[in-house]
Each structure stands twice: as C-alpha cells, then as structure tokens.
C-alpha cells in the first residue's frame, strides 16, 4: 500500500485537473467566488495566504485573484506543483513550495502574521495520524493573525459504506472514466479506509479501453472530532456545510 504522496505522483497527478473538471482557470474563478462569499479577503489580518495541499493550484490562483500576496502554495507532489507553476506564469503572488504540510507553516511564516490559511481537497485525511491532524490545527491557529481566517475541507469516512454504495463515480468523458472504490478493512482498528482509484481510458486510435488502478489509505476522521481539534487550537467556527460523499467544509476565525 503506497502513501498519499506516492499515489498522487505515480498515478493521480496526470488526471487530477481533469478529475476536478478540466479547466483550471474556471475552477479558480469558481473558488474565488466561494472564498469571497465566506469573507476570505485581505484585510486587517494581512494579505499573506497559505494554501496547504494546493494540488494543481486553482485555490492558490483564487487567493491571488482576491488580492492576497504572497500566496504560498504548498504540496509534496512535484508534478502538481509543476502544473501550478505553468498556470501561475504572470501571477507572481503565487509561490509554489514543495514541502510537507505538517512542517511548512513554521518555516514559511512568522507566528500571527497570516491573513488566511486554506487546507482543501481532503488533505487532512492524507496525513498519517490523527495526532498529525491535531498538530496541524495548532500550527494553523498559531500562524494566523488576529481576525485571520482558516478554511478546511475534508471527508468524514468514519461510517463504513456497504455494498454498491462503496463505488463512487468521480467523472466520465468520452475517453476517460474514473470511479473510486472504498474498502473498510478490519486492521488498523477502524483508523483508515483503503481508497482504490480506478481509471478507464479509451485509445482514440483503436477504440479499446484499458484499466489502470491504484490504492492508498486515508485517515477516518470524525467531523465532531475535527471540530473539537479546531476549538482546542483556539479557532472559532464561522460557517460550515456538508456535501456529497461525507465532505465537510468549515470556515474558522482566530479571535481578534
């Protein structure tokens, strides 16, 4: 079983932007509108932003579009950071950083100096332990300036799916189909879920389909447990919403 970093570098990175919809600029525009709705804008807390687990960078581009400068775009996947760098040409505010999100904030910014930290794309469940999640929440709170904002999005996969509910369609187009299959093994004391990503691609010349599959583990994080980690770190919930597949989005504030 590979790590999340290996899974992305060896398998998912080449499909990731397609998986999200295929148009990175359109994704950035939609993300910018969503962040604006949540009040994630430069202000008294400052204009520095950090995008933890930035992937191909649509959220980093969105933050820059809102006026944040600099925007540190942090990820361990070199292919995804290369994709971001190509799209960020002409956007000097975006600064790609290849680093582990668990260690990035203390190295990149001074305590109490950041206007916004975002950690989207289910990045929290890619961390190796729940202790690492709690430590990251504390690091985010320490990095934020008074009145600063943090946004987290993650999946609550603590309730096992059964039968065909374990098959999750991701996206399909004429030449590519992606499905995710979740497996809840008896090992690890209900600590992780095994994610199997299945991608069928069609050869445009022959019309033949082929399957490529790869697997890795994700943490099973209870939404209630994560909220308690936020509160323990000194962050106040300003807004939250649920989404399909157990997705949770939480907007937090550090006290002024």
Cβ atoms within 10 Å, residue 2 = 14
pLDDT tens for each residue of 14-26: 999 999 999 999 9
Strand 247-254 and strand 144-155: the pairing is antiparallel
pLDDT band at residue 198 under the 50/70/90 scheme: very high
Residue for token pair 């993650």: 154
Burial of 172 (0-12, 13-18, 19+ CB in 10 A): exposed
Q: Give per-residue pLDDT as tens, 238-255.
A: 999 998 888 999 999 998
Strands 235-242 and 71-75: unpaired
What is the pTM for the complete model shown?
Answer: 0.94
Mean pLDDT of 71-82: 96
Structure tokens, 250: 């939480």
pLDDT value at position 140? 98
Residue 1 has pLDDT above 80, yes or no: no
């Amino acid at each position: 079983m590979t790590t999340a970093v290996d899974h992305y570098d060896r398998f998912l990175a080449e499909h990731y932007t397609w998986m999200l919809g295929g148009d990175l600029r359109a994704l950035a525009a939609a993300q910018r509108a969503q962040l604006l709705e949540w009040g994630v804008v430069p202000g008294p807390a400052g204009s520095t932003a950090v995008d933890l687990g930035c992937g191909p960078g649509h959220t980093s581009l969105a933050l820059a579009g809102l006026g944040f400068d600099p925007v540190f775009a942090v990820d361990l996947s070199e292919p995804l950071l290369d994709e971001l760098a190509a799209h960020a040409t002409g956007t000097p505010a975006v600064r790609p950083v290849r680093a582990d999100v668990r260690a990035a904030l203390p190295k990149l910014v001074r305590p109490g100096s950041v206007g916004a930290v975002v950690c989207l794309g289910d990045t929290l469940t890619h961390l190796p332990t729940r202790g690492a999640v709690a430590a990251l929440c504390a690091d985010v709170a320490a990095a934020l300036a008074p009145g600063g904002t943090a946004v987290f999005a993650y999946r609550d996969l603590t309730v096992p799916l059964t039968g065909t509910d374990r098959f999750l369609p991701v996206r399909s187009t004429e030449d590519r189909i992606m499905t995710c299959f979740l497996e809840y093994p008896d090992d690890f004391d209900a600590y992780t879920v095994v994610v199997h990503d299945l991608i069928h691609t069609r050869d445009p010349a022959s019309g033949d389909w082929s399957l490529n599959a790869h697997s890795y583990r994700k943490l099973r994080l209870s939404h209630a447990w994560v909220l308690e980690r936020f509160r323990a770190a000194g962050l106040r919930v300003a807004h939250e919403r649920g989404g399909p597949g157990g997705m949770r989005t939480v907007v937090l504030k550090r006290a002024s």
